[in-house]
Amino acid sequence: MKPEFQWLADIDAAPVAGAQRASVSALKPLASVPAIDPQFEADVLEGLDDDQKHIPSIWLYDRRGSELFEEITQVTEYYPTRTETRLLAGLAPQLESEIGGVHSLIEIGSGSSRKTRLLLAAMGSLVRYVPVDISADFLREAASGLARDFPGLEVQPVVADFTAPFALPSCGRATDDCAGNLGFFPGSTIGNFTPQAAVALMTQLGRTLGPRSRLLIGVDTTQDPALLIPAYDDAAGVTAQFNLNLLDRINRELDGDFDRRDFRHLARHDPQHGRVEMHLVSQRAHEVHVRGRTFAFAAGETIHTENCYKYTPSQFLHMAHAAHWRCERSWQDGGRTGFTVYLLRRDA
Ligand code: AVJ
């Protein structure tokens, strides 16, 4: 193995990220009760106890966080969304002839489902849309909007943490008819995962989607700090609000007493890991309480809240192969970002 891929050395043995987590529940049209999530509590209490305080980025996406992320996708400095949307608009009309007989589109971490419309409009063979997202209310709204606009389409939302194995709802077809499954994992969300976790996730998605299924996945490759830093620290401060919302969520759901004025948003580029990191920086020495526990902050101490890896094509293809996917086609942005959409196929 070449040194640049040394970090891939032991990924084959890596366990599925978060496999111990809660399982899927079907989406029910209930009033939303913000139940306390024991995993959230455990992640926060453990993460704040570490030398480098950290909280897994999945917890940024409550209702408010998902709304703020949608706002981020609209700010000028945030190039990934519009770059990927442009790529998808170009490739969508080619997909149907490229891959015939696709009946189900399964979107991983669906958010507002905006990019999905491009695919649904271009692929007449699709009869079923399965959006999978952790934010139930957000998912419900996006799903009902799509069901309204594509009346012939069966929409089957799944509320799930997709980092844990989840089952696809039955599509009433022969169980081995997976060649018609097209997974859709846009937004470079794969960048939230370390190389090991990304391979584990793609392996698990391959099992869920089934033999001979496909995966259309967007991956940001940008390494230029002049593009990256403003994208993760926009002038209007939307990304800062998104990051700080995590403190409000802890206060609300875990009896915390964070004062967001004591923290500042920080985005920093780590060229060695090829990633952007988001942190919340304590502005003074102080103590915070969560669930009756006390956590001390030094001035300048940070909570690491997100990693956004920018995988190069060779890194990404290495990971895809390790997860038993092969590349059928790819479409790369010709501009400064190098953002790439890959069409992967699972052999068996
Ligand atoms: C949702 C992981 C794709 O990494 O660009 C955007 C998250 N965080 N701004 C990204 C994010 C701050 C976003 N992903």
Expressed in angstroms and rounded, the spacing between residue 308 Cα and the centre of ligand 1 is 6
The torsion angles phi and psi of 71, rounded to 5 degrees, stand at -65, -40
Expressed in angstroms and rounded, the spacing between residue 179 Cα and the centre of ligand 1 is 30
Q: Model confidence over 3-16: pLDDT tens digits?
A: 334 344 433 333 33
Residue whose Cα lies nearest atom 1 of ligand 1: it is: 189
Q: Which two tokens stand for residue 152?
A: 């012939």
pLDDT value at residue 176: 57
Q: Model confidence over 254-300: pLDDT tens digits?
A: 999 999 999 999 999 999 999 999 999 999 999 999 999 999 999 99
List, in sequence order, every beta strand (DSSP E) within the chain: 25-26, 53-54, 104-108, 128-133, 154-155, 158-159, 181-185, 214-219, 263-270, 275-282, 286-290, 293-297, 302-309, 325-332, 340-346
Confidence bin at 210 (pLDDT 50/70/90): very high
Q: Which of 60, 189, 227, 229 should be mutated for ligand 1, with most atoms under 8 A from CB?
A: 189
Look up residue 11 and give its DSSP letter.
Answer: G
Look up residue 15 and give its DSSP letter.
Answer: P
CA distance 105 to 183: 6
Picking from 105, 108, 213, the residue whose alpha carbon sits closest to that of residue 162 is 108
Q: Which of 60, 69, 78, 135 should be mutated for ligand 1, with most atoms under 8 A from CB?
A: 69
Alpha-carbon 10 to chain mean position: 23
Show the ligand 1 pocket: residues with CB < 6 angstroms.
72, 80, 187-189, 191-192, 232, 239, 278, 306, 308
In the block, tokens 């997709």 appear at 162
Picking from 244, 253, 249, 248, the residue whose alpha carbon sits closest to that of residue 291 is 253
Residue whose Cα lies nearest atom 4 of ligand 1: it is: 308
Q: Model confidence over 36-67: pLDDT tens digits?
A: 789 999 999 999 999 999 999 999 988 899 89
Expressed in angstroms and rounded, the spacing between residue 310 Cα and the centre of ligand 1 is 11
Contact between residue 121 and residue 147 where contact means Cβ atoms under 8 Å apart: no
Q: Which two tokens stand for residue 203?
A: 């392996």
Contact between residue 201 and residue 190 where contact means Cβ atoms under 8 Å apart: yes
CA distance 100 to 237: 44
**Across 150-174, average pLDDT:** 86
Residue whose Cα lies nearest atom 3 of ligand 1: it is: 189
CA distance 182 to 113: 15
Please name the helix (run of DSSP H) or strand (run of DSSP E) that holds residue 213, with its range, or none: none
Q: Which two tokens stand for residue 74?
A: 């609209």
CA distance 129 to 190: 21
Residue 29 clears pLDDT 60, i.e. is over it: no
CA distance 97 to 127: 17
Picking from 27, 31, 59, the residue whose alpha carbon sits closest to that of residue 140 is 27
Please name the amino acid found at residue 115.
Answer: K
What atom of ligand 1 comes closest to residue 276's alpha carbon?
4
pLDDT value at residue 2: 39
Residue whose Cα lies nearest atom 14 of ligand 1: it is: 189
pLDDT value at residue 200: 97
Q: Burial level of 150, CB count in 10 A (0-12/13-18/19+)?
A: middle
**Mean pLDDT score of the chain:** 88
Sheet holding 53-54, edge to edge: 53-54, 302-309, 275-282, 263-270
